[in-house]
Amino acid sequence: MSTDAPFAPHPAPPTVAPHTVRTLTDPADRRRAFDLFLGTLHHGPITDDAWEAHGQAAEEHWLGVTDPSGAIVGSAYSFPTRLTLPGGTRIPAAAVSGVGVRPDRTRAGRLTALMRAQLRAARDRGDVAAVLRASEATIYGRYGYGVASRGDHVRVTTGATWRPEAPAGGAVRMLDPDEATALLPDLQERLAAHRPGGMTRSARWWRRVLRPAGPSAGEYKGVAVHTGTDGVDDGFVVWGVSEGDLATGATDEVRLQQLWAAGPAATAGLWRFLTGLDLAGAVIGWVRPLDEDLDLMLTDSRAHRVTGRGDDLWLRLLDPGAALSARTWGPGDPVVLRVHDAFLGDTGTWRLAGGAAEPAAAADPDLECTVDALSAAFLGDRSPSSLVAAGRWSERTPGAAVRADALFAVPGPAPWCGTFF
């Protein structure tokens, strides 16, 4: 992209103080950085066995911002992932986590320095995007991240009955930790290939979930797989249980940790199983995909209550040209889109036409947006029209947003990441 006219609804990035950002390769430094991060979340340090079991991995990229004394006072790391785009192409991306700045060193530009170093390094490595899950919605927009998918928090009453026409068939079987370790990573990778926003997970991610160490090692964890009528595994669920209270009459509740399904039959099969569990009053799901239409399948549609909605994946395009050409586009009249990236100092213009995105630096834009606001439409979560209506995109040519709606529209599964990292 070239640098040209400014277009920055976000305040200009702060002048970054000369903070020192270091790549951390020594496991002892990484552990210090991780403990620092845990502290910023108000957690105690990681235990020895948890650090040994799944503290860090060779393929990760760890950064620390250090004080003049050399002490690490800010941290961030990423692991390589592949992110599914509309149409099924997977792009290389940096999955960012472990972001924190020591409370006595905040609001002085240290995160800004970390983000700049991390995004540049990821782009230099060839990552087309960076992704993360945000603790707060106000932090990452200034660095070019935007919410690319959302999900519903749901509460489904156990014992709910299913309409006779709801998808049925298939079978659910429970897995022990060895079986889950052998089966789930490949199954999730296969299922995530069919949903925009789906991402591949690292071996460490799976170890941490299926073989927890430290305080959560002894907690109950249920794992089950759904097999379709064709004999192929097509969904799985991992859940824990929160204990009720005999004194108040509060029942135990099933807490979904993950539930992936290839389609409605697997979705219904797994939810039927969960809502049929004994000794639990409800199944609680958090950031479920927006197209998980359980209310349409239940006799009492109110047995499925949406209790809230939250952001799922935050996406930051590092190479918008590569990303725009990697996804598929709907049919429709062409539009010229200009994308501004104030944080990395880039601007680029593309013509979306004939199912492709071509660079068009000399063309006048029909639509303009910042790179963070592009994320909202990029996987199909929001339409260009709604982004223009909200003031997040600018329409230069009347009618261009409606034309862009047709191009950006994504048939099939709603975008959803479904991985917390």
Ligand X SMILES: CC(C)(COP(=O)(O)OP(=O)(O)OC[C@H]1O[C@@H](n2cnc3c(N)ncnc32)[C@H](O)[C@@H]1OP(=O)(O)O)[C@@H](O)C(=O)NCCC(=O)NCCS
Residues taking part in catalysis: 140, 421
Q: Which of 55, 86, 109, 141 binds ligand X (CB under 6 A)?
A: 109
Q: Does 111 bind ligand X (CB under 6 A)?
A: yes
Question: In the complex, what is the shortest distance from the CB of residue 19 to ligand X, in angstroms, rounded to a whole number?
Answer: 9
- As to burial, measured by CB atoms within 10 angstroms (0-12 exposed, 13-18 middle, 19+ buried), residue 31 is middle
Say if residues 98 and 34 touch (Cβ distance below 8 Å): yes
3-state secondary structure of 76: strand
Question: In the complex, what is the shortest distance from the CB of residue 213 to ligand X, in angstroms, rounded to a whole number?
Answer: 22
> Residue 29 has which token pair?
């430094």
Q: Does 107 bind ligand X (CB under 6 A)?
A: yes
Q: Which of 38, 57, 121, 134 binds ligand X (CB under 6 A)?
A: 134
Question: In the complex, what is the shortest distance from the CB of residue 407 to ligand X, in angstroms, rounded to a whole number?
Answer: 32
Q: Does 110 bind ligand X (CB under 6 A)?
A: yes
Q: Which is nearer to ligand X, 40 or 47 (CB)?
A: 40
Residue found under tokens 């809502």: 275
Q: 414: Cβ–Cβ under 8 A, 6 or more apart, which residues? A: 149, 195, 289, 290, 291, 380, 381
Q: Does 106 bind ligand X (CB under 6 A)?
A: yes
Binding string, 302-321, against ligand X, x = CB under 6 A? Answer: --------------------
d(CA 62, CA 76): 6
Q: What does the DSSP assignment read for 199-256?
A: B---HHHHHHHHS--GGGGGS--EEEEEE-TTS-EEEEEEEEEE--BTTTTBPPEEEE
Question: In the complex, what is the shortest distance from the CB of residue 419 to ligand X, in angstroms, rounded to a whole number?
Answer: 14
Q: Binding segment for ligand X among 51-59, 98-106, 330-338, 398-406 (CB under 6 A)?
A: 98-106
Q: Which is nearer to ligand X, 84 or 97 (CB)?
A: 97
Binding string, 28-67, against ligand X, x = CB under 6 A? Answer: ------------xx--------------------------
Q: Which is nearer to ligand X, 77 or 271 (CB)?
A: 77
Say if residues 1 and 348 touch (Cβ distance below 8 Å): yes
Q: What does the DSSP assignment read for 352-379?
A: EETTEEEE-TTSPPSEEEEHHHHHHHHT
- Tell how strand 335-341 and strand 367-370 pair up: parallel
Q: Binding segment for ligand X among 49-57, 138-146, 252-260, 294-302 (CB under 6 A)?
A: 138-146
Q: What is the dihedral of CA 343, 349, 352, 353, to 10 degrees?
A: -170
Q: Which is nearer to ligand X, 111 or 400 (CB)?
A: 111
Q: Binding segment for ligand X among 116-124, 137-145, 238-246, 269-277 (CB under 6 A)?
A: 137-145
Say if residues 373 and 387 touch (Cβ distance below 8 Å): yes
Q: Binding segment for ligand X among 95-103, 223-231, 352-360, 388-396 (CB under 6 A)?
A: 95-103
Q: Binding segment for ligand X among 103-111, 191-199, 207-215, 344-352 (CB under 6 A)?
A: 103-111
DSSP state of 73: E
Query: What is the distance, to the nearest Å, from the Cα of residue 338 to the centroid of all Cα atoms in its chain?
Result: 25
Write out the binding residues for ligand X, residues 364-403 only, by CB under 6 A. none
C-alpha radius of gyration, the chain, whole number: 23
Instruction: Return the half-sphere exposure (C-beta side, CA atoms, 13 A cut-off) of residue 308.
Output: 8
Q: Which of 55, 64, 86, 100 binds ligand X (CB under 6 A)?
A: 100
Question: In the complex, what is the shortest distance from the CB of residue 107 to ligand X, in angstroms, rounded to a whole number?
Answer: 4
> Residue 227 has which token pair?
């097999």
Q: Which is nearer to ligand X, 40 or 257 (CB)?
A: 40
Which residues contact ligand X (rule: CB under 6 A)?
Answer: 11, 14, 40-41, 99-101, 106-112, 134-136, 138-139, 142
